[in-house]
C-alpha cells in the first residue's frame, strides 16, 4: 500500500540553533515546510533576528526546498513594530508563551490584559496568534485551566486567528468546536501515548514533554478527531530535540524528538484505521486553507515497508534520541 502526500507541513517545529540545528534541520527535510518556533536563548523577538535565524536554517537544510514560516516571540507591540514584522519576508505570526511555562519561556506573557492593544492590532491585520495553552497549576490540569483564556480571547477578538498549540485533551476539542476563530495543532505523540507510557512503569524520559501526555480518553478523542478529518485540526509535531545528556538526567528536559519518523508513523496510524484518505488534509490541506499558505511543491510517497528507527542521531558533537529509538515501525518513505 502507498500514500502520496502533496506538500506536507509541520505546523509546529523546534529546530534549536548552532550545532543542534545543523544536526536536526535536515531530519525535517521530508516536509515541504514548517512553522518554526522562536524560543531560542535569547528568544527571537524582532524581525532582524528572525531573518538571521531563517538564514541559519536555510544553510543547515542545504539544497532542500523547505519553506520556513517564521514566528516571533510574543511581547507587547507597537503599530510600527507590527507593520515591520508583517513586511519581513518569511514572517508567519506571533507565538505566545505564558511566562516560565516551558522551555526558554521565562520572558513570556505574565499579564495578558497588558497585551490587549497588540492583540487588537493583530486581529485587524490578520496576523495569527499561536498559543502554548497551559496554566501554572497541577500538571494534569494545566491545559484544562487555560481553556478559559482561549474562550476569553476568542470572544474578545472574534476575528483573531488563534491556534491552540499541541492540544492534549478532549475538552480542548470541545472548545475548538465552539469558536470558529480557533484552530489547533496536535502532535504525533499525543495521538499515541498516555501518561502511563511516560511514567506508569520505569520512567521514559524521551517521552516526557509539555504539555504532558494525558489520559486514554483524551488520546482517543484526539486520534478520532484526526482520523475523522476535523477541518480545523492540523499536524504540528512539536518535535523538540534536546541533547541526550539533558534528557537522561535529573531535571529531564521536556520534549519528544519525532521529526525523522513523523510522516511514516502517521501513515501507519491512518492506514491501520482505514483513514488514509484523511491524512492529506491533516498534514497540509487544513493548514493551507486556514492560513492561506502556498508551500513548496514537494511530493512524498510513503509505503508499508518497515523502517528501523535509529537508536540515536549523532553529529556535530550532538546526540539526540528519537521516539521509537531502536524500534521498527511498519511504514517508511519510498525513495
User: Where do the structural domains in the chain lie, given as residue ranges?
Assistant: 2-300
Under 8 Å between Cβ of 89 and 106: no
Q: How confident is the model at residue 332 (pLDDT cuts 50, 70, 90)?
A: very high
Nearest alpha-carbon partner for 161 in 270, 39, 35, 264: 35
Q: How confident is the model at residue 103 (pLDDT cuts 50, 70, 90)?
A: low
pLDDT value of residue 98: 81
Active site residues: 238
pLDDT value of residue 102: 61
Q: Can you tell me the distance from the alpha carbon of 28 to that of 140, in angstroms, rounded to the nearest whole number?
A: 30
Average pLDDT over residues 71-79: 94
Nearest alpha-carbon partner for 24 in 266, 324, 320, 326: 320
State which fold the 2-300 domain adopts: TIM Barrel (3.20.20)
pLDDT value of residue 113: 83
Asked whether the predicted pLDDT for residue 104 surpasses 60, the reply is no
pLDDT value of residue 100: 60
Asked whether the predicted pLDDT for residue 105 surpasses 60, the reply is no
Nearest alpha-carbon partner for 230 in 190, 289, 189: 289
Share of the chain above pLDDT 90, in %: 92
Under 8 Å between Cβ of 327 and 274: no
3-state secondary structure 96-138: ECECCCCCCCCCCECCHHHHHHHHHHHHHHCCCEEECCCCCCC
Query: C-alpha angle with apex 49: 45 to 55, nearest 5 degrees?
Result: 140
Residue 334: CB partners within 8 Å, gap ≥ 6? 2, 301, 302, 303, 305
- In tens, the pLDDT along 32-53 reads 999 999 999 999 999 999 999 9
Asked whether the predicted pLDDT for residue 99 surpasses 80, the reply is no
Q: How confident is the model at residue 317 (pLDDT cuts 50, 70, 90)?
A: very high
Residues in the chain, overall count: 335
Average pLDDT over residues 207-223: 98
Its pTM stands at: 0.96
CB neighbours of residue 178 within 10 Å: 13
CB neighbours of residue 181 within 10 Å: 16
Q: Does residue 241 sit in helix, strand or coil?
A: coil
Q: Count of alpha carbons within 13 Å of 206, Cβ hemisphere only?
A: 16
pLDDT value of residue 106: 62
Among 104-113, 154-163, 166-175, 249-258, where is mean pLDDT lowest?
104-113
Q: Does residue 329 sit in helix, strand or coil?
A: strand
Amino acid at each position: 500500500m502507498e500514500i502520496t502526500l502533496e506538500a506536507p507541513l509541520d505546523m509546529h517545529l523546534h529546530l534549536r540553533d548552532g550545532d543542534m540545528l545543523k544536526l536536526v534541520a535536515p531530519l525535517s527535510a521530508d516536509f515541504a515546510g514548517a512553522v518554526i518556533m522562536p524560543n531560542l536563548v535569547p528568544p527571537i523577538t524582532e524581525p532582524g533576528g528572525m531573518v538571521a535565524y531563517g538564514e541559519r536554517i536555510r544553510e543547515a537544510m542545504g539544497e532542500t526546498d523547505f519553506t520556513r514560516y517564521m514566528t516571533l516571540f510574543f511581547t507587547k507591540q507597537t503599530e510600527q513594530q507590527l507593520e515591520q514584522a508583517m513586511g519581513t519576508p518569511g514572517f508567519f505570526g506571533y507565538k505566545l508563551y505564558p511566562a516560565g511555562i516551558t522551555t526558554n519561556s521565562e520572558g513570556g506573557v505574565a499579564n495578558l490584559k497588558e497585551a490587549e492593544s497588540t492583540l487588537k492590532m493583530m486581529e485587524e491585520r490578520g496576523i495569527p496568534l499561536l498559543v502554548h495553552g497551559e496554566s501554572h497549576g497541577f500538571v494534569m490540569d494545566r491545559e484544562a485551566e487555560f481553556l478559559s483564556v482561549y474562550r476569553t480571547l476568542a470572544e474578545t477578538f472574534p476575528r483573531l486567528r488563534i491556534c491552540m498549540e499541541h492540544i492534549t485533551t478532549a475538552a480542548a476539542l470541545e472548545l475548538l468546536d465552539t469558536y470558529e476563530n480557533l484552530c489547533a495543532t496536535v502532535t504525533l505523540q499525543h495521538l499515541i501515548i498516555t501518561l502511563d507510557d511516560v511514567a506508569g512503569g520505569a520512567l521514559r524520559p524521551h517521552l516526557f514533554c509539555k504539555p504532558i501526555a494525558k489520559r486514554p480518553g483524551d488520546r482517543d478523542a484526539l486520534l478520532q478527531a484526526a482520523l475523522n478529518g476535523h477541518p480545523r485540526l492540523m499536524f504540528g509535531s512539536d518535535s523538540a530535540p534536546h541533547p541526550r545528556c539533558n534528557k537522561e538526567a535529573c531535571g529531564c528536559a521536556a520534549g519528544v524528538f519525532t521529526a525523522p519518523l513523523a510522516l511514516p508513523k502517521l501513515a501507519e496510524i491512518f492506514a491501520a484505521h482505514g483513514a488514509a484518505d484523511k491524512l492529506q488534509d491533516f498534514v497540509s490541506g487544513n493548514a493551507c486553507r486556514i492560513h492561506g499558505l502556498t508551500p513548496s511543491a514537494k511530493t512524498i510517497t510513503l509505503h508499508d515497508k518497515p523502517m528501523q528507527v535509529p537508536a540515536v542521531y549523532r553529529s556535530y558533537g550532538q546526540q539526540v534520541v528519537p521516539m521509537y529509538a531502536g524500534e521498527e515501525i511498519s511504514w517508511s518513505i519510498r525513495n
